[in-house]
Amino acid sequence: MDSTHSKTRSQQRGIPGLIVHWLDQYGDEVYDGHGGVIRYFSRKSRRAIERHEGREPVRRMWEFLDAYKVESSHDGNTITVGRLHKRIKR
């Protein structure tokens, strides 16, 4: 379930719904230590998208593969969506 905040942020930051869907399906996750789970595209998850969706869709959406999504670790609701500007610490 997406929050109003996450939908607004996704629209403001220009992140297509397909990317959010791919984050749910293929994104790697890491706990942020504050009750959230960050989903992002690693090298491994990008390869998985290419295998399942094809190379052409990935090539066309390449500019959005720096997106991330923060979900609540309690109920799985989406908190926010954004674009990475630095690496995620694991």
Q: Name the pTM for this structure.
A: 0.84
Domain that holds residue 8: 4-80
- Tokens representing 10 are 């996704």
Dump pLDDT digits (tens) for 21-51.
999 999 999 998 888 999 999 999 999 999 9
Residue 55 lies in a domain: yes
Residue 86 lies in a domain: no
Domain count across the chain: 1
Residue 70 lies in a domain: yes
Concatenating the DSSP letter of every residue in 9-61 gives: HHHHTT--HHHHHHHHHH-EEEE-SSSEEEEE--HHHHHHHHHHH-HHHHHHT
The answer, yes or no, to whether residue 89 has pLDDT greater than 90, is no
